[in-house]
Amino acid sequence: MHAALAGYAVAARRHAPQDRRLSGAPTAMVLNGAYLVDRDRWDGFAALARELAEGHPEVRLELTGPWPPYSFVAEPEAEPAWA
């Protein structure tokens, strides 16, 4: 799902799944993704999300947002040398 949705996005990030106790969802979260989608591609992105949801009825797919820009910033892999 992530790869397919990311194909519509300018930027895409996978975040750690939220704990069920925080999300309030009855089942475990398996994907927590953030997708920065241009307005002119939004309809296609939303249609793909619906198609993926219909193809996987056992999965709850939820679109939310917009989210702040920091959702698309990658974590540094190592501490910078100047630190």
Kindly tell me if the per-residue pLDDT of 82 is higher than 80: no
Give me the pLDDT at residue 37, please: 94
pLDDT tens digits along 6-55: 999 999 999 888 888 887 888 888 899 999 999 999 999 999 999 999 99
Kindly tell me if the per-residue pLDDT of 83 is higher than 70: no
Q: Are 33 and 15 contacting, i.e. CB atoms less than 8 angstroms apart?
A: yes
Give me the pLDDT at residue 28, please: 83
At 41, phi and psi to the nearest 5?
-110, 0
Distance CA 80, CA 77 (A): 9
Other beta carbons within 10 Å of 5: 19
